[in-house]
């Protein structure tokens, strides 16, 4: 069985990365893809549920897991912690399942260092005005919080060049197609094809 691929996807809040990942999962694909469920200490938002969107735990529980080295990566964002379970990721990949990680650039940097074969994707909005409109449309944050998110977005977008791929989320369907293309291309690279067709290749090279 060939090993799954770990895909990292990052973007400023409100850019639409969660919607894109959901859209990808709803389309017919040749590959088995799952989204990693992170642990977080932030408050659950309307419409979210424990174990589906995040594992919502206390800061005390999170710090215990840090000491136990349970996280592949973790970061503190807006005074809350976010972390990715090492055991979950490794189990999925060994089962031949692709895993999508929705994390910020700090977490992405940690993952790339520990798992250099992972592939990273950065998502950009078509404009600052559009990003602001999307944040307002969500109706979840005050004007003060939105202003802070916009300021933080600029800092986050400065890290786009650290990623393997870049997608501009202007047209939603096109962005999904771009995401699918990246998945297909990575599975066709020589490293993964060699692992998948190792027996066939060995037979073809016999004299």
Q: 110-131 pLDDT, tens per residue?
A: 899 999 999 999 999 999 888 8
H/E segment holding residue 135: helix 128-138
pLDDT for the residue 123: 95
Give pLDDT, residue 20: 92
Cβ distance 4 to 158 under 8 Å?
Answer: no
Q: Residue 40: beta bridge partners? A: 56, 82
Is there a domain that residue 1 lies in? no
Q: What percentage of the chain has pLDDT greater than the value 90?
A: 64
For residue 57, the model assigns a pLDDT of 96
Q: What is the CATH number of the domain that holds 161?
A: 3.40.50.300
The pLDDT of residue 1 is: 63
- In the DSSP assignment, the letter for residue 57 is -
CB-based contacts of 31, cutoff 8 Å, min separation 6: 98, 183, 187
* Separation CA 199–CA 60 (nearest Å): 49
- Evaluate whether residue 25 is within a structural domain: yes
Residue closest to 98 by CA, chosen among 177, 179, 6, 8: 6
Answer whether residue 20 is part of any domain: yes
Sign of the torsion formed by the C-alpha atoms of 188, 191, 195 and 201: positive
Task: Tell me the residue ranges of DSSP E strands in 43-191.
Answer: 55-56, 71-77, 80-85, 98-102, 119-124, 165-168
- In the prediction, which pLDDT does 188 show? 94
Cα separation, 7 vs 89, in Å, equals 11
**Cα–Cα distance between 183 and 188 in angstroms, integer?**
9
Instruction: Give a yes or no: residue 161 inside a domain.
Output: yes
Q: Are strands 98-102 and 33-35 parallel, antiparallel or unpaired?
A: parallel
Residues of the chain with pLDDT under 50: none
93 domain residue, yes or no: yes
Rounded Cα distance between 73 and 82, Å, is 8
Domain count, the chain: 1
Residue 139 lies in a domain: yes
pTM to 2 decimals?
Answer: 0.84
Beta strands in the chain (DSSP E): 6-10, 33-35, 39-40, 55-56, 71-77, 80-85, 98-102, 119-124, 165-168
- Can you give the pLDDT at residue 136? 80
Structural domain containing residue 181: 6-204
């Amino acid at each position: 069985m060939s090993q799954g691929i770990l895909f990292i996807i990052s973007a400023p809040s409100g850019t639409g990365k969660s919607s894109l990942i959901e859209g990808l999962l709803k389309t017919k694909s040749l590959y088995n893809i799952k989204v990693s469920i992170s642990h977080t200490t932030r408050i659950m938002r309307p419409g979210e549920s424990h174990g589906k969107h995040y594992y919502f735990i206390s800061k005390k529980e999170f710090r215990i897991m840090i000491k136990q080295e349970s996280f592949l990566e973790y970061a503190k964002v807006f005074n809350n912690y976010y972390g990715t379970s090492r055991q979950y990721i490794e189990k999925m990949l060994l089962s031949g399942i692709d895993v999508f990680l929705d994390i910020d650039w700090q977490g992405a940097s940690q993952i790339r260092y520990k798992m250099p074969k992972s592939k990273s994707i950065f998502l950009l909005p078509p404009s600052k005005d559009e990003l602001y409109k999307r944040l307002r449309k969500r109706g979840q944050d005050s004007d003060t919080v939105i202003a802070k998110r916009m300021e933080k977005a600029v800092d986050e977008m400065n890290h786009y060049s650290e990623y393997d791929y870049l997608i501009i989320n202007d047209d939603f369907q096109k962005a999904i197609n771009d995401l699918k293309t990246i998945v297909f291309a990575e599975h066709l690279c020589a490293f993964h094809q060699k692992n998948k067709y190792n027996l066939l290749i060995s037979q073809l090279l016999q004299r």
